[in-house]
Amino acid sequence: MKKNQMTMAVIAFLAGAGTIFAVIVIFDIDLVKWANCSAPFADPIDRESALCRR
């Protein structure tokens, strides 16, 4: 049973890493800019920073 749990954990980790890779490399999304400018939780002051204007 322990071997199956470890296998599932490795598969889940690789799926998460693959998703992050796809977001950054394939779709060319700047996660820092998204977090500061577009995310629902972004501070209104940060949305007007130089990072968001470029």
Q: How many distinct structural domains can be found in the chain?
A: 1
In this structure, what DSSP letter does residue 39 have? S
pLDDT tens string, the chain, 54 residues long: the values are: 688 999 999 999 999 999 888 887 877 777 777 777 777 777 777 677 777 777
Range of 26's domain? 2-53
How far apart CA 12 and CA 47 sit, in angstroms, is: 34
How far apart CA 5 and CA 43 sit, in angstroms, is: 40
